[in-house]
């Protein structure tokens, strides 16, 4: 009896998972949050049911508060209003929400954070795995985003970044610590990320390329840029990105660009926005409109 019940539950949940997946059609939102220190909240952000909505916490950093590297031991530096309890609450009210932590970012206080080639790669990987596993358990996280932004220019390609990060993501996934992994290159860091993607692309779900750093301001130039990044990575995994009050294309021209990308034979599988901290002041206009765009293009297929 107990066994039949168990099987029935399993089948039902598989069926529901299948339906939800079909229903969502893989459209994702990637929303960075918590990096500026402003007391942002999850529950102010508009979240549509049909979207696979990812909050990306900024940032988990391999450094002590003074910026000294810790051999791969990551600590949380996102704003404290994004607490474990608030993550449980937002996931409870929106089952389509996932929460990720982004690794590194640009700086901690006045210290610019750099990828350093660890003296002992196995120690770095093992410390990173343990510290991230502990963050995942404490904060109920689903995934990791990789946002190292500064490399020693002449020597990123020692293979150390690709190896350490690739092995880390592989382990986190095959030990079922995380279910989603993304990377966030920008114009100046594309090369090390291409190396990582070539070697470990099967464990990387999406590419949050920071299109705004390419400073393309028109839909046509955004399309050309998308074409380039799609070729460097994987066209199904690259997500167009928008910086609120920022660089690159601004205003509704971003949505014209999304339309143009689709008209040219690509699928827009999601949108990345930097960031919720800035969107507080415009009532999350770009989050609302991006999700409406994604839902609209879902139903039209």
Ligand X SMILES: *[C@@H]1O[C@H](CO)[C@@H](O)[C@H](O)[C@H]1NC(C)=O
Query: Which lies closer to ligand X via its Cβ, residue 80 or residue 175?
Result: 175
Closest by CA to 149, choosing from 109, 207, 189, is 189
Binding mask 119-158 for ligand X (x = CB under 6 A): xx--x------------------------------xx--x
Query: Which lies closer to ligand X via its Cβ, residue 86 or residue 170?
Result: 170
Task: Report the alpha-carbon distance of residue 133 to residue 128 in Å, rounded.
Answer: 8
Among 52, 167, 277, 287, binds ligand X (CB under 6 A): 167
Collect all residues with Cβ–Cβ distance below 8 Å to 136 and sequence separation of at least 6.
177, 178
Q: Does 170 bind ligand X (CB under 6 A)?
A: yes
Q: Does 300 bind ligand X (CB under 6 A)?
A: yes
Query: Which lies closer to ligand X via its Cβ, residue 34 or residue 219?
Result: 219
Q: Which of residues 90-119 bind ligand X (CB under 6 A)?
A: 117, 119
Active site (catalytic) residues: 149
Phi, psi at 272, each rounded to 5°: -110, 135
Q: Does 301 bind ligand X (CB under 6 A)?
A: no
Query: Which lies closer to ligand X via its Cβ, residue 2 or residue 119?
Result: 119
Bridge-partner residues for 100, per DSSP? 56, 143
Q: Which of residues 61-90 bind ligand X (CB under 6 A)?
A: 70-71
Burial of 107 (0-12, 13-18, 19+ CB in 10 A): middle
Question: Minimum CB separation from ligand X for residue 209, in Å?
Answer: 22
Q: Which of residues 189-228 bind ligand X (CB under 6 A)?
A: none
Q: Which of residues 232-271 bind ligand X (CB under 6 A)?
A: none
Contact region with ligand X (CB under 6 A), list: 9-17, 95-103, 105-113, 170-178: 170-178
Query: Which lies closer to ligand X via its Cβ, residue 64 or residue 137?
Result: 64
Q: Does 176 bind ligand X (CB under 6 A)?
A: no
Q: Which of residues 269-288 bind ligand X (CB under 6 A)?
A: none
Q: Which residues bind ligand X (CB under 6 A)?
A: 70-71, 117, 119-120, 123, 154-155, 158, 160, 167, 170-171, 174, 292-293, 296, 300
């Amino acid at each position: 009896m107990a066994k039949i019940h168990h099987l029935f539950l399993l089948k039902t949940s598989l069926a529901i998972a299948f339906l939800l997946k079909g229903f969502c059609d893989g459209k994702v939102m990637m929303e960075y949050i918590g990096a500026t220190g402003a007391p942002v909240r999850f529950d102010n952000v508009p979240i549509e049911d049909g979207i696979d909505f990812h909050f990306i916490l900024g940032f988990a950093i391999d450094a002590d508060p003074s910026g000294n590297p810790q051999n791969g031991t990551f600590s949380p530096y996102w704003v404290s209003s994004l607490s474990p309890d608030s993550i449980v609450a937002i996931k409870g009210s929106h089952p389509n929400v996932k929460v990720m932590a982004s690794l590194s970012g640009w700086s901690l206080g006045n210290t610019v954070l750099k990828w350093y080639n660890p003296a002992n790669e196995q120690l770095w990987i093992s410390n990173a795995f343990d510290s991230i596993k502990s963050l995942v358990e404490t904060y109920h996280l689903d995934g990791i985003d990789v946002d190292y932004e500064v490399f020693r220019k002449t020597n990123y390609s020692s293979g150390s970044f690709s190896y350490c990060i690739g092995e880390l993501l592989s382990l986190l996934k095959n030990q079922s610590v995380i279910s989603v992994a993304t990377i966030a290159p920008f114009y100046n860091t594309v090369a090390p990320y291409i190396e990582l993607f070539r070697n470990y692309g099967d464990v990387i779900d999406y590419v949050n390329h920071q299109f705004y750093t390419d400073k393309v301001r028109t839909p046509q130039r955004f399309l050309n840029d998308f074409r380039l990044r799609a070729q460097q990575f994987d066209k199904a995994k690259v997500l167009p990105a928008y910086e609120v009050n920022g660089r690159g294309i601004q205003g509704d021209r971003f949505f014209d660009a999304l339309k143009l990308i689709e008209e040219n034979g690509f699928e827009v599988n999601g949108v990345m926005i930097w960031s919720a901290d800035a969107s507080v002041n415009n009532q999350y206009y770009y989050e609302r409109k991006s999700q409406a765009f994604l839902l609209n293009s879902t139903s039209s297929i």
